[in-house]
Structure 1
Amino acid sequence: MIRHPELKGFLQRYFGVFIGAYFSSIIAVAWTFALVWSTYCRQCSKDGLFPWSLSITLAVFMLGHGAVVRGRAWGAWLVAGLCVASMVITLTTYGHRPNLFIFTSSLVAGLVTLLLLNSRRYREMRVRLVEYREHRRQGRR
């Protein structure tokens, strides 16, 4: 397998911030999902709506991070929107007396994700990925 010579340097510089944003957004979205289903939808039938809502949430989540990796700038906005939505939804569950550890951790994970998405290194990584995408597109022509 032939590797691009820049790949090792790229991964050393940007992999930590990408994986940090990825895992903190997973925590924020997953715990928000758990809070919603344990508070608002406690009496709901979990046969039909639960798998569909989980599938749609995961599809949007994977679409956002996959778009970032493929060099699409709108992917970061999708991840940021998902994190803001999860924080707003988490805040609305406070009246139902949720588990405070999961409640607080979901909010903190959403804030950490937004902080990492706005960091200089993550923005540099997105610019480099867009450049790689343009380079691949030029190579196909």
Structure 2
Amino acid sequence: MIHLTPLEPFLKRYFPIFMAAIFCGFLGGSAVVFLIEHYYLRLAPLVLRTSFDESAAALLAGIITLCNFMMMYGRPQWVWGMVVFFVACLLIALPAIQFSLHPLLYAESLFWPLLGLLILNSRRHREMRGKFLELRYRRKRIREILRRRQRKFSG
């Protein structure tokens, strides 16, 4: 397998911050789903809450996965999907103070989205997105060179 960049230093530098953003998304999303299920929808029937819980968890996991995969593929504008995700988690969690829930649960539902936004705005995460974009351009250039070679030998 041909690597376009040395893999070990790249992973040592950027993998922890990449995974931290993903885990903040999962933890923040799960805290918000818990808030919605147990406080916003507490008077709804159990069947509705259970079906909401499963579908919301699958949808949030899909959003996080899609945004991070597209960023990894070299599309840095997909970071805005994660930003919208974290801001939506904050906007859903902030009014939950009126339910007088446990302070640790409320703090957790605010902490993970705020930490996720901080990670997305960090210098290292921006560097990583720039490196992914650079790798995308390298792959595109290699494909063009290989196509020209193929046309040259076939024609």
TM over 0.5: yes
Superposition map of 1:48-127 within 5 A: 48-127=51-130
> What is the distance in 2 between the residues matched to 1:129 and 1:91?
34
> What is the distance in 2 between the residues matched to 1:56 and 1:23?
16
Runs of 4+ off more than 4 Å: none
Q: In the alignment, does 2:21 pair up with 1:21?
A: yes
* Aligned partner of residue 43 in structure 2, secondary structure: coil
Superposition map of 1:3-14 within 5 A: 4=3, 6-14=6-14
Say whether the 8 Å CA contact 2:37–2:49 is kept in structure 1: no
Contiguous gaps of at least 5 residues in structure 2: 145-155
Say whether the 8 Å CA contact 1:76–1:117 is kept in structure 2: yes
Deviation per residue, 1:22-59 (Å, 9 max, x gap): 11221111101111111111233235444333322222
More helix by share: 2
Q: CA 1:47/1:13 → structure 2, altered by over 3 Å: closer, same or farther? A: closer
Greater Rg, structure 1 or structure 2?
2
* Aligned partner of residue 49 in structure 2, secondary structure: coil
> What is the distance in 2 between the residues matched to 1:97 and 1:40?
12
Which residue in the other structure is 2:151 paired with?
A: none
> What is the distance in 1 between the residues matched to 2:34 and 2:58?
14
Contiguous gaps of at least 5 residues in structure 1: none
Please state how far the C-alpha of 1:120 moved relative to its aligned partner.
0.7
Please state how far the C-alpha of 1:102 moved relative to its aligned partner.
1.8
Aligned-residue CA RMSD (Å):
1.7
What TM-score, normalized by structure 2, do the two folds share? 0.82
Please state how far the C-alpha of 1:137 moved relative to its aligned partner.
1.9
What TM-score, normalized by structure 1, do the two folds share? 0.89
